[in-house]
């Protein structure tokens, strides 16, 4: 037997897999990548050598106001390192510059004071102006035309009125935008609710280019780039993190060129060739991303990309907070089958996109092609089953169920952290 540990909540679960059917464990190199020097040093070097842009200190010269778009509490961006470096650069040539930090909440809730303190530290909290974006506060938004897709582009007025707009963030694989970071600080980060919905429409989610690691021809990415240009996003500082959330790469400069450079570097560290397998075991990398089924869909997409036709995906996720979205849950639970969900959603025009529709659509797509067994002892099995997933309380039960479905000779591959990998299917 081969024993393989997979992240689960703040611990791990162990699977015992017969050696004769074990295809292997597949993890990206980024997870084990070690920093070549401190995060502060890597950031300082990136700022000293901006890509496709003058130095930030030069951009700030003679400006009256600047807005720094910062990620919110749902992202592991090491802002305690990034933000002081950006503030120092801005004030180097312009100590009187009026600076605001705008929290890119997208459609998430506003961070609490405690969450902001944990993110930035007490000094920045006490000294700087920090404003949280609210996507539904129409009076805070300015109309900036129509996206290439035809959707209305509404963005936060504070950002639009700034003489200099810049952003901090991190780059990781994203299951339909290709990669996070860069232009994503603007859309969805500081965009209006109806703009986000239009960008996440059914037609775009169906695109074969709207997938992990894909930027070229990706319609969601195209809209995001256009929005960043309309906002006049002038500079970004993005980092790449390892499994311990340490900075291992940093890029700065032009939001498009620097982001592209960072994505290219990350791809080389994240792309993994996985033999096509009848059973694929994966996770969301444990806490905090495995707190609900909504988030767990992200990890499932990695398994989906390498699973054989009618394969079984074993998803390890605690989901202690349940489904993660009422609309998401109801769309699946009220349907007779995943196929019905797909049929229902594909007919919804972009301007009528519903909240969480994209997550429902992606999960339904996966369930239409594969059986998904969710492994957890911290979520109501009835809730899981209502969403057309199967439930197992432990790894042994899940493996027994999967092998009963696919047979004892079924090949089993393990992707311990489905969120961190760009999985590429190869012949077994």
Residues annotated as part of the active site: 108, 174
| Straight-line distance from the first to the last Cα atom of the chain, in angstroms, rounded to the nearest whole number | 20
Examine residue 242 and say whether the peptide bond preceding it is cis (omega within 30 degrees of 0): no
Distance CA 209, CA 96 (A): 45
> What is residue 185's DSSP assignment?
G
Rounded to 5°, the CA angle 354-102-233 comes to: 85
- Tokens 């129509």 appear where? 146
- Residue 251: closest CA among 267, 269, 234, 239: 239
- 286 vs 14, 16, 299, 407, CA distance in Å? 13, 19, 10, 29
> Dihedral sign, CA of 312, 318, 324, 330?
positive
Under 8 Å between Cβ of 54 and 320:
no
- Tokens 């969710």 appear where? 374
Under 8 Å between Cβ of 401 and 390:
yes
């Amino acid at each position: 037997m081969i024993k393989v540990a997979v992240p689960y909540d703040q611990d791990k679960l162990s699977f015992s897999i017969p050696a004769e059917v074990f295809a292997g464990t597949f993890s990206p190199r980024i997870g084990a990548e070690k920093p070549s020097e401190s995060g502060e040093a890597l950031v300082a070097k990136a700022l000293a050598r901006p890509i496709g842009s003058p130095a930030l200190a030069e951009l700030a010269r003679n400006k009256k106001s600047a807005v720094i778009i910062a990620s919110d509490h749902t992202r592991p961006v090491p802002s305690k390192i990034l933000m002081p470096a950006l503030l120092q650069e801005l004030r180097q040539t312009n100590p009187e510059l009026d600076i605001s930090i705008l929290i890119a909440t997208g459609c998430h809730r506003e961070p609490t004071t405690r969450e902001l303190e944990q993110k930035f530290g007490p000094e920045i909290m006490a000294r700087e102006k920090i404003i949280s974006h609210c996507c539904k506060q129409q009076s805070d938004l300015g109309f900036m035309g129509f996206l290439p897709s035809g959707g209305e582009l509404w963005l936060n007025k504070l950002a639009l009125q700034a003489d200099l707009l810049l952003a901090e963030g991190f780059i990781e694989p994203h299951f339909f935008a290709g990669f996070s970071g860069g232009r994503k600080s603007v859309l969805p980060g500081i965009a209006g609710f109806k703009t986000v919905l239009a960008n996440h429409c059914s037609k775009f989610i169906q695109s074969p280019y709207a997938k992990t690691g894909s930027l070229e021809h990706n319609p969601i990415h195209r809209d995001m780039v256009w929005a960043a240009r309309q906002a006049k996003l002038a500079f970004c500082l993005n980092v790449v993190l390892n499994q311990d959330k340490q900075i291992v790469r940093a890029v700065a400069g032009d939001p498009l060129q620097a982001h592209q450079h960072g994505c290219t570097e990350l791809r080389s560290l994240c792309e993994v060739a996985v033999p096509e397998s009848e059973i694929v075991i994966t996770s969301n990398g444990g806490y905090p991303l495995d707190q609900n089924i909504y988030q767990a869909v992200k990890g499932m997409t990695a398994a989906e990309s390498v699973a054989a036709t009618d394969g079984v995906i074993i998803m390890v996720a605690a989901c202690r907070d349940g489904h993660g979205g009422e609309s998401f849950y109801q769309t699946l639970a009220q349907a007779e089958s995943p196929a019905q969900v797909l049929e229902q959603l594909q007919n919804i025009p972009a301007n009528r996109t519903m909240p969480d529709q994209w997550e429902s659509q992606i999960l339904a797509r996966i369930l239409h092609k594969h059986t998904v067994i969710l492994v957890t002892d911290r979520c109501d099995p009835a809730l899981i089953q209502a969403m057309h997933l199967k439930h197992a309380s432990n790894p042994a039960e899940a493996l027994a169920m999967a092998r009963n479905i696919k047979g004892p000779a079924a090949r089993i591959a393990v992707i311990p952290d489905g969120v961190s990998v760009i999985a590429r299917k190869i012949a077994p």
